[in-house]
Each structure stands twice: as structure tokens, then as C-alpha cells.
Structure 1
Amino acid sequence: MDGKKLEYKGENALRELERLTMNAREVQEMILKEILTRNGATEYLSKYMEGSTDVAEYKCRVPVITYDEIQPYIQRIANGEDSSIISGYPITEMLTSSGTSGGEPRLMPSIAEDIDRRTYLYNLIMPIMNQYIPGLDKGKAMYLLFVKAETPTACGMPARPVLTSYYKGQHFRHRPRDPFNDYTSPDAAILCPGSHQSMYCQLLAGLIHRHHVLRLGAVFASAFLRSISFLECNWIDLANDIRSGRLNSTITDEECRSAMSALLASPNPMLADEIESICSNGSWKGIICKLWPKAKYIEAVLTGSMAQYIPMLEYYSDAKIPLVCVMYASSECYFGVNLRPLCDPMEVSYTLLPNMGYFEFIPLEDGLGLGLGLDQVKEVENDKVVGLVDVKIGCYYELVVTTFAGLYRYRIGDVLQVSGFHNNAPQFRFICRRNVVLSVDLDKTNEEDLHKSITTSKKLLEANNLILVEYTSHTDTSTIPGHYVLFWEIKCTSDDTSQIIPLDDHLLQDCCIAIEESLDYIYRRCRSNDKSVGPLEIRLVEAGTFEALMDIFISQGSSINQYKTPRCIESSVALKFLNSKVRSCFFSPRDPTWNP
């Protein structure tokens, strides 16, 4: 496709985006009306609507629900009953949530046309990016994308992560071969079910094309950093493959071998020498820009719990290229895009697109209740819920969605803050998941507060040439009183990679108290006055622990694409593993300040 056609395609997409956001209220009403018309005769909707397709009656009669309320209906379909239980169109597959933010994976119904909505959102990304960084069609994209093997439901219906569904679907496999879709990875490497072989081949392809890569990324920042760590352990083998023109014998997937053999058509000792010179140079600070010198940005989800990875990405890129978040999506529904992709990652806002589903919002006054799990706020009065265009700047809300596939007024569990409007469509900052909390007594610590408190303590580490690689938490109630436990993996940032990480008792104790001082009033009262919460504990774990933790979750069914390190560990297996990797323990040396 030539440049003029690409430009025209982009202009059309942006014009449609403007039309949708300008007419957000009308588009939302039309979407809900269409959902009710299609699905009005379903068992679920008939129970409340009694044949009516009136939008006002829907908002009055149909309750706001959590997964527990809709799960029995979904399970019946998964067991083989007709889709008409919840959807007027055949449910073609069940999408599995990652399961690492709030417990076991959930099944989300999906119909055939859902893939069109996801593709629509993906097709907006490059026109938006091209406004800020032109010329992206002049090179390749090194996107590290992965699939997971499917596990059918009882009736044989596919059950798989949403990204696996997309990558295996016709829209991706038969995508237009225009320059914006020129990936370094062959499809066979992306679709390889073995994550080790897939990652090896994708990194090898990225190195082969290193002088043509203009953008890099993965779905989540955690997956991208996992790939860099993998590269650090395997670059010698990768360079040897390039030097010899032969693929490593550990790659046994036939389609991968065939696709990679075409890339390794002949030995390339000069390229192998370049890679060896860069990777063997001691410190890996700035390694991304050294290996891919023409890269203009790194793309990944960096909001919410993924914000933890920003310092490590800046370390590996030497903070020389932008970190970009482009879209907001989930297994239940795709929501919106970031119209200012080059903004600071901590200031990312997503514009919700009114044609993706029907969106409503539960107000959380002044952030009140952010720490409450979904199981603690079961019932929501219908008249308290507001529509997409009726939210107010600065206010906090919990997102509620109605989809074509059979979710009705379903609480996603995401807490958002309105940051502004694009035309008549609101823009939101992602704050946290409501159901990720630490609690011992009356204290309730949500994901954002935990992240903020740890961010404060990280400054103490950074002043000592240390960086927090990863963390998770746990409420230890085996002690009396119970207390918060943080598992930390730290890394030395000194250019002298032989330097031993100092286990300075005072430094880690100072980190403990810095975290406690940053937590909320209730926590500090429980610690200092009520004595119902014990001193916070940091447990330092061995290098590589969190990569191994990721392997455990993947082996239990999580997708490498959708994996997010749990910010609160509930799995007994994961907790036992983490405790087996502890090097040292440090406790807060005093009570945090508290003023009644």
C-alpha cells in the first residue's frame, strides 16, 4: 500500500473517531437500544424487561451485578445450553480473564462480531501514533506477542484469553500487509504455544532486523521486561544462531523452525559480532537503544499495577525513548484509546469510545470506598449510576458495562478518575482494581495506595544505586497482631555488575517506615494507637524469583500476554514459593506517626 493510501486510511479513522466522540450521547443510546433489541428475548433480560426494549426501563429495572450473579448463566452455556440464555447471537467462545488480579480465571462470553470491535480499536492506534511520530511505515515493529493453548469448556466451546483469540483469528492472520503491520516476528513464532520457543524465536527475529526496528513493545510492561531478562540469559545462543545461520536445536516446533530458517538463510558473522559486542559489555543499562538504535518508542500497558515497571524500562532504555500506552481493554470489553500517547506514563488518560459497548459509572465520592472489594459493596442503587457523558471531571467512578455478548450492567471492578473530555467523550485515568487490597483489621489498603507508598520508599533505594525490580504483598495473620508483608526483588544499577547488593539493615528498615508513613490514616491509627496491626515487613528474595513466580502462574493457566504480577498474593503455592526464596527480612523499627 503506498503512502497516499496509508495517509487516507489514517485520516478516515481519525475523522470517524471525531464523529463518535462528538456524538457520544447519541451513539451510546443507539448502542444500548441495539443490544436490547437483539437480546430482549433472552432468558436473563426477559426476567427484568418482560419484552420491553425501552432504554429508560432498562436503567430502572436491570440490576448492577458482579460476576457471581452472571456466572451461573455463563456456566450453563459453557456446559452446552443454548446461547439464548443471555445473548440473541450465538456465543462462539469463552474468553478467560487473567485471573491474577482477583482470583480464579473467569469465563466471559464472546460472539463472532466482537472481533470486529477489537480490530476497530487496534486499527486506530497507528493513525493516532502517526500524528506524533511520522514515518513509522518506514521500518519494522518488534512486538513480543504470545498465545496460550486453548482449554475447551465442557461442551467443547473454545475457552482462551482474549489476545489468543485475536492472534488466532482471521483478522490478525490475514491482516493487510501494509508497512504498519510489518512485524519482525513471523506469525509462526507468535502462534507457537510453547512460550520459551516463541520468545526465543521472536527475539532472534528482532535481532536479525535490529537496524530496521522503529518500535518495540508487548501487551504488558511485565511481558516486555521478561523478554529482556530472557535475552540477557540467552543472547550468546541467539548470536551463535545468527553467526552460523542455523537455528538452535532446542527449537522443535516445526512451523517455527521453518519460518526462522527462512530468516536465517545464510550466516551473518558481522551482525553476530555487533550483538556480542553490545551484550558482553557489562552493564545492560540502555541495552534496548543499543540493540535497536532506530527505535522511536516502547509500547506497553504502563498504567495501574504496570506503573511499577516504568523505572526498569527507563533503565534498560536509558530513558532515551518514550514509553507509550495506547489502549484500555479487558476480557469483558475493549474500552478506549490514549489520544496523547507521548504523555508521561503517569499521566495517561484513555478516551472511552461510545461504540464499543454501553458504559455506566458508579460514583465513588471523593475516592471513598476505593479500598473496598466488590464483595463488600454488593448492591448499587440504580438511580446512583450515571451515563458515559454525565461523569464529572476529577471524580472517581467504578466502570459498569453492557455488551452485545450478554453482560448486563456488569461491574468491571476498575476504578477510574475523570481527567477531561475529548469533544463529548470523557477521558479517564486508570486508578486501580477495587478488589486488590491488604487488610488486617479496620485498615483497607488498595492497589494505588500500596504503589504510591512503595514509590516513596524507592527513592531511598535509588540513592544507594539500587532499583526495585518487582514486588508483591501478603497479609500475614500467623502473627498476633497480623501485619503486612512485602516481597521485594532488588537489583544493583551500578555499572560494576560484580558489585554485591548491600543488605543494609538501616536502609531496608528506613524503607519499611517510609512505606508506613505513606499509607492512609486508618492504617497508621491501627498501627500506632489501636495496635491492631503489627510492624510492616520487607522480605528480600533472590534474583529471578518473580520470573519463576510468573512461570508458576503460567503453568496453572495464566497467559503470558495477560499475566500481571499479583499485587496481593493469595495462592498458597505462590506464597510457599516466595517464602522459599527469601534472603533476609526487615521490619519497620517504629510506629508511624499518627495524629487523632
Structure 2
Amino acid sequence: METSSSEDLMSWFEEIATNAGKIQMETLKKILEMNHGVEYLEKWLGDIEDIDKIDGEALRSIYVSLVPLASHADLEPYIRKIADGDTSPILTKQPITTLSLSSGTTEGRQKYVPFTSHSSKTTLQIFKLAAANRSRVYPTREGGKILEFIYGSKQFKTKGGLVAGTATTHYFASQEFKIKQQQTKSFTCSPLEVIFSGDYKQSTYCHFLLGLFYSPQVEFITSTFAYGIVQSLSLFEDYWREICDDLFNGTLSPKITLLNIRRSVLDVIKPNPCLATLIRSQCEELERCNWYCLIPKLWPNAKYVYSIMTGSMQPYLEKLRHYTGDKLPLVSAEYGSTESWVGVNMDPCNAPENVTFTVVPTFAYFEFIPLHKVCDKVAVVVGGGGCDDYLEDDPVPLSKVKMGQQYEIVLTTFTGLYRYRLGDVVEVAGFYQATPKLKFLCRRKLILTINIDKNTENDLQLAVQKGSKPLLKSQAELVDFTSHANTSNQPGHYMVYWEIKGKVSEHILATCCNEMDAAFVDHGYVVSRKTNSIGPLELCIVEHGTFKKIMEHFIGNGATMSQFKTPRCTTNQVLLKILNLSTTKRFLSTAYE
């Protein structure tokens, strides 16, 4: 699918990557020229005049010396004023008419982030850039289709009348997305009515029906997060018989009750007895082998599976590889957040565990806080373990980052975020021309802490990974997990909830519990366990479908399948009630006895 436009896009990227330092200066100057005099910047830069006449490096020096680093909490009062209807230039001079909601599953609550036409344009731009680069490694056919498990959620109005919703929903509703759907030669199987149904089960059923109807034309399978693909494929294990009936007859199951979906799907599908018979035969065979190799069997011309697969998505890679039979590459999607896009995957043939993201220097102005691990009161370069116990140096610009050093990312965006601490810890793994290639390590935020212990999401994932290895002896698999730092009794202790597929003996589960407890290597945790300042880790086995209930709780409260991430640690009393009522077995670690 190489076109002159994709070649032009790659040439453009080569140029900005080669001149990344200069482009960054231009980007910062453009942001400050556009927004000089807004309420937030007036506090810090009010005495600075004629910004357009100040040299780029001099302007950067003034900016970083006068404007402080900020967290979301620092900007939240300004964003709240915008949400409540204040139309004065608070964060940007461009009107902010839309607010994005973060998923709320990482930090426990949703937060507003400004969303502008620039947000949609950069989203489309990074998607086009990534597609042009992927096509060099995995060429796709002209006229092919994409099976996308994507879901829009309801948008709503804030007190001040602004449209609010998830960033993915804003993009799917944007003119940029609609134009892409109309103009792109390889486009999604599902119409907008399916994407915006508001009922993820009905949408998923139709995604599959249309995806199989177009099966020979599907070039790749994608979703925003790896979780979305795994969750959808698990639903397919329940739906496939009805889907085959619909393919055979050109009908749509009565379970699809939304009229706009019914009309849009029935306008497309036609009876195809030959295809339906073939797929039914394949599904019967796949069911007997636990759906191993499902994707290449049902979509024989698919080139790869594409999704965000880093961070909290890594636990789903094993299941994805089961569904692909290791016959299709897993390609990690681009690095971004609700606040801004950061980088593009320029090495799509790399396994997700080794993926790096090349910073796009036009998307925002980037700074990097050098991080050094605190170890026995000595600062050393971070070497793993917890991601919050750091000493920091002063932020450096993109042009000054060093190979092998770890950093926290700071953003200044066109949408009104100034020196905003993103909270992501990355390592510079190399360079593409003059722009850095980042390896995502973890979120800096602690999720498990009781005493002097400091464990992040990454630490928990590593412990669960090591602790779950004994499950292989029973040919069982870990479906999903979360945790809770229980301080209701003294000493407090970690509770880790597992949902398991397959039968496992209590002896093996007790072994898993001990292995997981011993796998937390944070010094504060180890010392606290040895002195009984933290009690034995508790492994709670929950019944089948528990994490689906958790997902449905979040979706019912405004999240969307496209942005849902299982919370790896929770204090939410509703979720804890679901987890504890669903717990069927409990084990206490004896690892430190």
C-alpha cells in the first residue's frame, strides 16, 4: 500500500528527526507565541514581552527558569474553570470546546484533559506515519480491510456546556476519522453505528460477524489495547455458533436489539453458505484445541496483530500469542497518553517486550527529568525494582538526553499543558537520527505501599509473573489479576486477586502464593516482611467472570472498552466488594517463616 503520500510522510519524518533539537525549539516557540498572555502563563511570564522576537534557545532558558514543573493537580483548578464555562483565555487562546476523560482505571478516578482539533490532527498524523512505516515491513494489499475492535462511548456536556468523553471517542467522532474511513483504501470492517452502539457486547458480536464476512480481505487485527483483543476473542468463544448461522443465512441474531446497528449491518452482509460452513468447521476444530491459533485460522491473510502492548498490557501477551499460535507478529502500537502523543514505533518487527518509541518532535515540547535510584542512601543509575524511590536531576531538553539513562517525561503541549509531569519512566534505548528512541519502563506512581515498602505496577506484574509459573504444571492460565494493600488490621498485608482458567490443586496455589511473596524484591518490603511489619501476602482466587464484572462496572460508569485497563491495585470499595464476594479460595504466604 505504498503511495506517494506515505513516501512524503516518511521523508517529512526523516527531516524532523534529523533536526530534532531545532524542531523542538520551534515547537516551544510556536506554543508560547500562540498562548502568551493566557491566565496560567501570565503568572510566570507576564513581564516577558515580544516573545516572537526572542531567540529559541534564549526563550527556552527563560521558560524553564520561570515556569515551574506541574502535576495534574496544579492544572486541575484551571481545567475545572473551563469545564464550568469560563471562556476567557485560561490555558490556551484557542477555544477549548472539548475535554477528554482519562480511563480512570490507573489512578482510580477519571480526570479532564483539554482536547482540541490539534489532538485529532496529531492522532491522525501518527496513525498515518505508523501505517506508512509498518507497510515497509508488512506490506498490505490495496483494497484490504482492518478488523478493529474499537468502541465509542457516550459524550456528555459539562456544567459549562463543553463536550466531554474519552479521547478515543472524540477521535472516532471527529471529521478526521470519518474522512479516513471514507478515503483510506484499507478501512475498518465495521460502520460507525457499530463503533458507537453504546453496548460493547452487541458491538463485539457485529465486529466479528462483519470481520468474518470480510475474512479473506482482512489485512490485520487491531484494538486500542491488547486487553480489548483478548476480551473480544474470549467472547467469540461463546458467540461463534450464532455468528456462523448469521453468515450462512445473511441474517442478524435477535440478541442485537439496537435498530441502528441492525440496519447498518444488514445493509452489508449477504448469505454465504460456503464461508459459513468453512468457518463452522474451523471453529469446531479450534474449540477442541482451546482456540490455539484462532486468528490465522479464521483470517488467513492477516499480516499481524496491532495494539498497545506495553506497561499494564504485557500480562495479556501470552494469551495473544496463544490466539496467534506464534504465527503472526504482535506489533506494539504507538506511545501516547490522554495528554499527548509521544512517539512512534519505527521498528515494528521488534517483539513487544523490546519495543522502543521514536519521539516525534513536532507533537509537543519534551523535557526529561534524569532519575537515579536511591540505594543505601547512594544515588546510582536505576537498575530495576521499584520506580518511585528516585533522586532527580534538573530536567534536560530532548537534545541532551543520554543513552541508557532513565527519565521521567515532561510535556508542554499545544492544548494548554505547561511543563506537565506525565509520570512515565522511560529509558533512552538509542536514537533515530537525532531524536531519542524510548523504552517504556513503568508508571512512577506507587500502587502498593504499607510501611516503608515501595512497589509499582511494574513490580507487581513481575511478582505475579514469577508467582504464576507453577500454574503451567496444571496446564492452567492466569486470566487477570489485581491487588489491594489491606491496612484494616495490623500488620497490614498485600492481597492479590487471581482469576484462573483451568483446575489447579491447592498445593500448587499455595506454592504460587509463596513464590509471589518472595518475588517482591523492594528492600523496604523484604525488611518489613522479615520483621513482621507487613504480614503474609494473601492470594485470593476469584470465580470465573469476576474481571468481566469489574470491566462492566467501569463501562457502566462512563469508561469505554477502547480505553479500559484492569486496575492493578484498587481501594475502590465497590470493586473490593465484587472481588471479595467472588473469592472462592484464600492462601497465606509462608515464604518468610
Partner amino acid, structure 2, of 1:205: L
Match of 1:304 among 311, 335, 349: 311
Tell me what 1:471 maps to.
Answer: 481
Q: State how 1:261-340 maps to structure 2 within 5 Å.
A: 261-265=266-270, 267-281=271-285, 282=288, 283-340=290-347
Q: Which stretch shows the higher mean deviation, 444-453 or 456-465?
A: 456-465
Partner amino acid, structure 1, of 2:211: G
Q: Which stretch shows the higher mean deviation, 388-397 or 334-343?
A: 388-397
CA distance in 2, matches of 1:34, 1:82: 22
CA distance in 2, matches of 1:513, 1:392: 39
CA distance in 2, matches of 1:138, 1:517: 53
Unaligned runs of 5+ in 2: 52-58, 373-380
1:358 aligned onto 2:362: no
Tell me what 2:224 maps to.
Answer: 219
Q: State how 1:102-121 maps to structure 2 within 5 Å.
A: 102-121=107-126
The answer to whether the 8 Å contact 1:452/1:518 transfers is yes
Match of 2:154 among 138, 146, 149: 149
Q: Superposition RMSD on alpha carbons, in Å?
A: 2.0
Match of 1:367 among 382, 406, 415: 382
Residue deviations 1:215-250, cap 9 Å, x none?
001010111111111111111221221122111223
CA distance in 2, matches of 1:178, 1:86: 34
Partner amino acid, structure 2, of 1:271: L
Partner amino acid, structure 2, of 1:367: V
The answer to whether the 8 Å contact 1:517/1:524 transfers is no
CA distance in 2, matches of 1:284, 1:16: 43
**CA apart distance, 1:527:** 4.2
1:435 aligned onto 2:445: yes
CA distance in 2, matches of 1:308, 1:578: 19
The change in CA–CA distance for 1:83 and 1:165 in structure 2 (over 3 A counts) is: farther
CA distance in 1, matches of 2:186, 2:39: 42
The change in CA–CA distance for 1:62 and 1:96 in structure 2 (over 3 A counts) is: same
Aligned to 2:349, what secondary structure does the other structure show? coil
CA distance in 1, matches of 2:544, 2:459: 26
CA distance in 1, matches of 2:28, 2:80: 25
The answer to whether the 8 Å contact 1:476/1:485 transfers is yes
Normalized against structure 1, the TM-score is what? 0.92
Q: State how 1:477-516 maps to structure 2 within 5 Å.
A: 477-492=487-502, 501-502=503-504, 504-516=505-517
1:38 aligned onto 2:38: no
1:456 aligned onto 2:461: no
Tell me what 2:264 maps to.
Answer: 259
Partner amino acid, structure 1, of 2:302: A
Aligned to 1:13, what secondary structure does the other structure show? helix
Q: Percent identity?
A: 35
The answer to whether the 8 Å contact 1:275/1:291 transfers is yes
Match of 1:73 among 64, 72, 78: 78
The answer to whether the 8 Å contact 2:455/2:522 transfers is no
The answer to whether the 8 Å contact 2:98/2:115 transfers is yes
**CA apart distance, 1:362:** 1.5
1:13 aligned onto 2:39: no
CA distance in 2, matches of 1:43, 1:527: 47
**CA apart distance, 1:367:** 2.9
Residue deviations 1:334-376, cap 9 Å, x none?
1111111121110011111000011111221123898476xx9
CA distance in 1, matches of 2:476, 2:231: 19
Residue deviations 1:41-61, cap 9 Å, x none?
101101101142332111101
CA distance in 1, matches of 2:494, 2:413: 38
Tell me what 1:190 maps to.
Answer: 195
Residue deviations 1:197-229, cap 9 Å, x none?
221211110111122212001010111111111
The change in CA–CA distance for 1:176 and 1:138 in structure 2 (over 3 A counts) is: closer
The answer to whether the 8 Å contact 1:136/1:180 transfers is no
Unaligned runs of 5+ in 1: 493-500
Runs of at least 4 residues off by over 4 Å: 176-180, 368-373
The change in CA–CA distance for 1:358 and 1:271 in structure 2 (over 3 A counts) is: same
CA distance in 1, matches of 2:361, 2:140: 30
1:563 aligned onto 2:567: no
**CA apart distance, 1:269:** 2.4
Number of equivalenced pairs: 573
Residue deviations 1:184-207, cap 9 Å, x none?
112221132222222121111011
